[in-house]
Structures are given as structure tokens and as C-alpha cells.
Amino acid sequence: MNAAQNTGPLPAALAAAKVAKLACAARPIITLSEGSDPRVVAGALAAEAAQIADIILIGPRADVRPALSEAGGRESESMAIHDPAGSDLSATLADAFYQLRKHKGITPQEAATAVQEPLIYAALLVHLGRAHGTVGGAVETTSNVVRAALQVIGKAKGTALVSSCFLMFPPQSQAMVYSDCGLVIDPDAHELAEIAAMAAQSCRDLLQQDPKVAMLSFSTKGSAAHASVSKVQQATELARKAHPSLPIDGELQFDAAFDAGVGAAKAPGSRVAGAANVMVFPNLDAGNIGYKITQRMGGATAIGPILQSLAKPANDLSRGCTSEDVLQMIAVTVMQHLGSS
């Protein structure tokens, strides 16, 4: 999975949201499952310096400690090192994993072996409440990161699927949420309605904005007839029924959702057209292409993919990530935790 190439400091909107939230909250603990990777260590130290979170770096102590020292850091109460091979928590974590997976036929010995894997170890700390969120993927693949999150942390209560979003920070317009641009390939109408609700919650939690959700299509209000248009129309109605207070409209073309003049002409009377800050794409093709065009041609900073609707926060990095990406994803994970608290 290709993630965003972010530049510059933490986007102002996210930074402001972080400061507002952290002003009345104890610092959360975030686990980083690839604790010896130099980018991860640098991002962790930046998060520690900014007082965003306390960190647990996970990996062989013989690898993590030198990487931390080389980056100018040291082990402390706010920057802990956990080596799964020698952890005092191994038995507790193994029992927890066995209880979670015994219905799949796992044995206690297999559970003990599994918790030596940093991704599983990190997720179990979150599951047991010893940490508040986890970030991985600088080395591991997206599929491995998502699998560990689903096996250990699981879906949020009442949700049928896990999806993703990107936070988009265009240089000359409001911050927005784009979803789903990284996980669900071809959602049906019910799944698309659920993605819309998840993305709206991400807007509240991460941007500290009231969501206005546009269900995107190549058609606006019946200007074209096609099965894919009908899917978006059905998803809009399902989302409205499930969340009657949520401002949501569709189907809308992107220009009608984004530009006030076009929105007024194409969808007069809409509460969303021309003012949307949550863009829900009909499939992964459209979402992935759309966020990359916004980023590369529009000059937007893109943060993601951010996982939505897990029981507790877990997020994925790109294997091509920078230390700035790590910092931003730690901040996002903290905001998700505080939004659900």
C-alpha cells in the first residue's frame, strides 16, 4: 500500500485539535511494533518531545536500544522498550491471545509463540488496556498490520467492517476526510453507508469539525442513470435512515460537493453541496486516484491510510514512510483514542 508523502510540520488543523484535546487529558501510551527502525525511533522521539504521547518501542532490546541511543534518545518512563523474547508480560499476553483465538483452534503453545511477534504483542497491550493505540507498517505489510489488529483488537461494537480514510489538508481550502481510499475495494450500498458513518466520526474525532458528508458519483441528483449511481443513491438513503441527524447528501459529483456555486446550481437546497468536508468515494479505484490527484496536483498534505471502526486505535504506515509520517500517525492514533474516551 502506498501511503502519503508528507512534508513540513504537523498540519495546523490536526495540531490545534491535538492541543485542545490533550489540554484536559493524561498522555496516552502508543505502542510502536517496529521499535528498531530509525524512522520509527525518530518519529517516536518527536512525539515524546511534543508531549503527544508516551511511547513503547517493541523489538529485540539489543536492536532497539542502540537505535534509540543513536537518535539521541534514551529509555525512560515516557520512552519504554519491550522485548517480547524476555518480557515479564509474555505469559499474560499469551493467555489473552489464547482466549481470543481458541475458537479458531489455536493451542496455548501456539499462542505463546504468536505473542513473540511484535505486531501481536503491540496489539495485545492495547487490547488489555496497557496501551491506548498502536502503529505499525514501516516494515510489515498492510495486510499483516490489519490482520493483527482484527485478530486482537477487533471491530468496534455494532460495526460490520473496518475501512480507512485519509485526512487531506489542501493549501487553500478547508481540511477534509476522504474515504475509503485504502482498504475496501468495492463496497456494496450497505458497506458504503457504513463507511460514510465511519468517515463522519473520523471528521469529528480528528479534525474537530462537524461533518458534512458527500456521497460521490459521476452523477448529481439523477443526471445519469447507471447501476453504480443507484448504489450511491441507495447508500445515501441507508446512511440517512441510520443517522438522521447527520448532514449527508448524494449522489453528488465532486465539483457539486466542493464548490458552492456549482453545488447551488446542481443541487439547490442541499445542506451539503458546496460545503462538504467528508468525501465518500464509490469504490477504491475512485478513492485512491482521487486522494493522489488532490495530493500531487493540488498540493495537499495527505495523512493516512487511517483505520476506522476498530474497537481501539491501530494504524498502518507505509513501508516508504518518513519519520514525519510516523509522528503524524502517532498524533492521529492519540486523537482516535481521545475521541472515543
Q: Is the pLDDT of residue 4 over 50?
A: no
CATH number at residue 169: 3.40.50.10750
Encode pLDDT of 56-107 as tens digits.
Answer: 999 999 999 999 999 999 999 999 999 999 999 999 999 999 999 999 999 9
Q: Which amino acid is at 316?
A: D
pLDDT at res. 290:
96
pTM of the full predicted structure? 0.86
| Residues 240, 140 share a domain | no
CATH number at residue 331: 3.40.50.10950
| Residues 323, 293 share a domain | no
- If one counts the domains in the chain, the total is 2
| Residues 186, 149 share a domain | no
Q: Is the pLDDT of residue 1 over 60?
A: no
| Residues 241, 322 share a domain | no
Q: Containing domain of residue 232, as a range?
A: 158-309
pLDDT at res. 5:
41
| Residues 88, 28 share a domain | yes
Q: Is the pLDDT of residue 21 over 70?
A: no
Cis ω on the peptide bond leading into residue 70 (within 30° of 0)?
A: no
| Strand partners of residue 252 | 216
Encode pLDDT of 288-306 as tens digits.
Answer: 999 999 999 999 988 888 9
Helix (H, G, I), strand (E, B) or coil at 280: strand
DSSP 125-166: HHHTTSSSEEEE-SSS-HHHHHHHIIIII-BPTT-S--EEEE
Q: Is the pLDDT of residue 225 over 80?
A: yes
pLDDT at res. 19:
55
Percent of the chain with pLDDT over 70: 92
Q: Is the pLDDT of residue 274 over 70?
A: yes
**pLDDT band for position 18 (cuts 50, 70, 90):** low
Q: Is the pLDDT of residue 244 over 80?
A: yes
Number of C-beta neighbours around residue 186 at 10 A: 12
Q: Is the pLDDT of residue 22 over 60?
A: no
| Residues 123, 55 share a domain | yes
Encode pLDDT of 120-139 as tens digits.
Answer: 999 999 999 999 999 999 99
pLDDT mean across residues, the chain: 91
Percent of the chain with pLDDT over 90: 81
Q: Considering only CA atoms, which of 53, 35, 147 is closest in space to residue 336?
A: 53
| Residues 215, 100 share a domain | no
| Residues 66, 147 share a domain | yes
**Radius of gyration over alpha carbons of the chain, in Å?**
20
pLDDT at res. 3:
42
| Residues 83, 204 share a domain | no
The span from the CA of 129 to the CA of 132, in Å, is: 6
pLDDT at res. 27:
85
Task: Specify the higher pLDDT residue, 185 or 11.
Answer: 185
pLDDT at res. 144:
94
| Residues 327, 272 share a domain | no
pLDDT at res. 15:
58
**pLDDT band for position 9 (cuts 50, 70, 90):** very low
Q: Are 137 and 319 in contact (CB under 8 A)?
A: yes
| Residues 185, 118 share a domain | no
| Residues 187, 87 share a domain | no
Across the range 311-338, mean pLDDT stands at 91
Q: Is the pLDDT of residue 13 over 70?
A: no
